[in-house]
Structure 1
């Protein structure tokens, strides 16, 4: 872990009291750049962060096998992506602030 002025900066790994873990880039003590966040329930986000929030392209894998691979903005699913179910069914999905605007089978 790297620190500048007592703030995490650069690459680092942080394990939270909840059991969640973040392994990735930091800037001014915030998740910023690429990182992998594993939740206590084994859900996992692998993608970009900006100012401690999911931002840009990322892939979220749910414990139940579902997966979203697409765009995020300000910590929310926002933009286009592909949602895949455990049985292999895929949808092209458009989101705005975590709400589905449209979905089309692929």
Structure 2
């Protein structure tokens, strides 16, 4: 919540952390933990929930005013990501459930499917292999016997 952002802050200080309820000028809301930077600016840090005016909700860990660590990002469409974040992006291991019922579980790098993973299609079939952004050459059908 940099110096440029304005809104309503209510804070209660506990052991160096701040608990805030903040409304951004855009209509976005944040409730959770914050801390003061060296410059004295309040930034999101710790556990918190951010809801955008468009209905996207992130619940999870924050560091340096960014989604960093484990969390869940829910879209109004019904799509859902649960997993690791780095600098506001899907990065690490996670599961992305698409609104059409399909699902990807595996590695992400900078918001892209990257590395080993499993894709469950709309018929419930599970495909495993290496994913590289939008390509997944050589996927194999996983048989459950």
Q: Same fold (TM over 0.5)?
A: yes
Aligned to 1:21: 57
Q: CA separation in 2, counterparts of 1:31 and 1:88?
A: 31
Listed as ranges, the gaps of 5+ residues in structure 2 are 1-31, 37-41
Asked if the contact 1:12/1:26 (under 8 Å) is kept, the reply is yes
Q: CA separation in 1, counterparts of 2:69 and 2:134?
A: 21
Superposition deviation, residue 48 in structure 1: 0.3
Aligned to 1:102: 138
Count of aligned positions:
106
Map 1:1-106; keep pairs closer than 5 Å: 1-5=32-36, 6-106=42-142
Q: CA separation in 2, counterparts of 1:97 and 1:66?
A: 16
Query: Aligned Cα RMSD in Å?
Result: 1.1
Secondary structure at the counterpart of residue 101 of structure 1: coil
Given the two structures, how large is their TM-score scaled by the length of structure 2? Answer: 0.70
More strand by share: 1
Flag as ranges the 4+ runs of structure 1 deviating above 4 A: none
Secondary structure at the counterpart of residue 139 of structure 2: strand
Asked if the contact 1:78/1:98 (under 8 Å) is kept, the reply is no
